[in-house]
Structures are given as structure tokens and as C-alpha cells.
Structure 1
């Protein structure tokens, strides 16, 4: 008699199909929500990166057309920030690095870009060589750090924890090169 009660309960559970849609909804909705949030986050990352690259290219073009009159770090950073429009707290989230390269005696630049490690501490850039001579090859890298919108869920969480820092910031790097015009 004791065994028949659980069997009857299981038979009744197997026959009835009430709330089947609710169970599917509860199981699948987090997956759909995860995909939606990750898609939005990835779209914003791509938009920020393309705007950073565009702003850096326009700034480098301005330097080339002004016959190599390179601005200092802060002036170039402000120009890039004005052209980009998507960099929050630009003074504390964007750092530039300009390196003079010799194409005939090639030494590869440091593979790690010079990024801001702590948003509260603003240090001078690792290298910003604005005194290139005529016909020198100059490499400029811009590194922007930002906090993902959904930094605790979905793709934003993975991006924020990718570099292992405690700040949860994502780094975007844009690189450009130009040759100093003859003076």
C-alpha cells in the first residue's frame, strides 16, 4: 500500500501536461537572455574599437599633413577623444605611445601596449617620442580602457576578467604608423 501512493503520483505526473511551456521557458530564458546581453556587449565593444581606430587615423593624418609637427601626448589624446565620442573619462582611460622605428635595423616594439593599469593613478606614458627626424618611421598606439556595461554577466564578465586585473576593465588597442615629413 505504501508503494502504490508514489506510483500513483508518478503516473498522474506523467499523464498531465499542465505547465509544460512554463518549464521550457524557465529552462531556456536564461540562455536567450545570456545571448542577448552578450550580443549587445560585443556590439558596443566593436563600436568603441572602430571609433577609436577612426579617431586615431584622423589624428595621425592631421600630423602627416602638418609636415610632422607632432603634438604632445595630452594634446593628441584630447584630439582623439574629441573625434571618437565614445571614450568615457578620456583623460583617465586613454593612453598613447609613440615609438620611433628603424625599418632598416628592425627591432620590434614591445608587444604589450602601454595601457593605464589603475584608473585612479595617471602616470606619464611609457614612451612618447615626438622628436622623430625627417623620414623616420613612427608607430603610434592608443590604448583605451573601459568598464563593460554588463560587467557581471555574460560576455562582459569574461571580458572584464580577461587580463586578471582587479579593476574589471577591458583594453582596446588601435595602432597606426606614419613617416615624418622632410623638414
Structure 2
């Protein structure tokens, strides 16, 4: 019995493998931080690309470069200007609302994004304004997180298939012709 205690005491005093233990404890944390940073950066890229493409498309619309614009045309134009969205035209919703200059009432609800777990898609209004009308445009594109179980991917609100909505909002005044 004394011999066993001496061996155990000797084994606890050994310092072999301490670097391995530190490596095993810290590397998963570092990988998680890296993945969360990468996800956060890619979310920011998606958001900026959507904002830019919506701004350019709405500029073209307000200047009258589109004859008889409809939702399909605006979806196609916005999606053609972004390169970071997968299956953009199927996962995008556009809402265009005329803002009254007498009451200045803005929409109080959030934009309805596509829910890929359901066959029925949200109904959004697309009002093309007349001269000097103030138009509020809200666009939502649903995309999957790259690393849904780490970092920012855990905190994002998701639809039934695990996608989160990237939203862009802009406003413009319809130019007189």
C-alpha cells in the first residue's frame, strides 16, 4: 500500500504533458472566437452589399429608368447587384410604401421576411409613387448562417430552416418627370 501511495505521489509531481493540456483547453475557445468573428464579418458584408444594391436600384427607379416596375423586376435588379447571397430571388421580399406628408405615419411592424419552412410567402405591398411622393422601401433577404452553432449565429433570430434575415431600409422622393 505504501508503494502505491509513493507511485501516485510521484505521478502527480510529473510535469509531462502540461503543454498538451493547455493546448486542449485553449484551442476550442480560439476556434470558436475565430468562427464567430468570421460569421460576424460575413454578416456585415451581406448587410453592406444589400444596402448598396437597394440604393442603386432605387436610384434607377426614382430616375425613371424602369418602365412599369413590378416586384419581380426589382427583385431581379437587387439580386443582380449582390454577389454574396445564395438563391437571392427566392429568398427576398420587397415592401414599398407611400408615406403621407400630412401625418408622416411610418409602418409600425417589422418587414415580413420569407419563411422557407412554409409554402405560403408573406404578402408585401409594392406601391409605385406619383410625382413628389415620399416612398419607404424595406427589403429582407433570408440567408443561412455559416456557423449556426457558434458566436453570433446562436443569437440571430432564425426562420424554420435556420436562416436569418438581412434587412435594408431606404427612402426616396419620386422625381417629377
SS in 2 for 1:84: coil
Alpha-carbon distance in 2 for matches of 1:9, 1:174: 67
SS in 1 for 2:108: coil
Give, in angstroms, the shift of residue 8 of structure 1: 2.6
Alpha-carbon distance in 1 for matches of 2:172, 2:67: 12
Q: Name structure 2 gaps, 5 residues minimum.
A: none
Moved over 4 A (4+): 67-70
**1:97: which partner in 2?**
95
Which of 140, 143, 153 matches 1:143? 140
Question: What is the root-mean-square deviation in Å for CA atoms of aligned residues?
Answer: 2.2
TM-score by length of 2: 0.89
TM-score by length of 1: 0.86
Q: When the two structures are aligned, how many residues end up with a matched partner?
A: 177
Give, in angstroms, the shift of residue 9 of structure 1: 4.1
Alpha-carbon distance in 1 for matches of 2:47, 2:12: 53
CA contact (8 A) 1:93 1:144 kept: yes
Give, in angstroms, the shift of residue 124 of structure 1: 6.0
**2:171: which partner in 1?**
177
Distance change >3 Å, CA 82–CA 67, structure 1 → 2: closer
Alpha-carbon distance in 2 for matches of 1:17, 1:103: 76
Distance change >3 Å, CA 5–CA 37, structure 1 → 2: farther
CA contact (8 A) 2:115 2:121 kept: no
Q: Name structure 1 gaps, 5 residues minimum.
A: none
**1:8: which partner in 2?**
6
* 1:52 matches 2:50: yes
**1:152: which partner in 2?**
149
SS in 2 for 1:42: helix
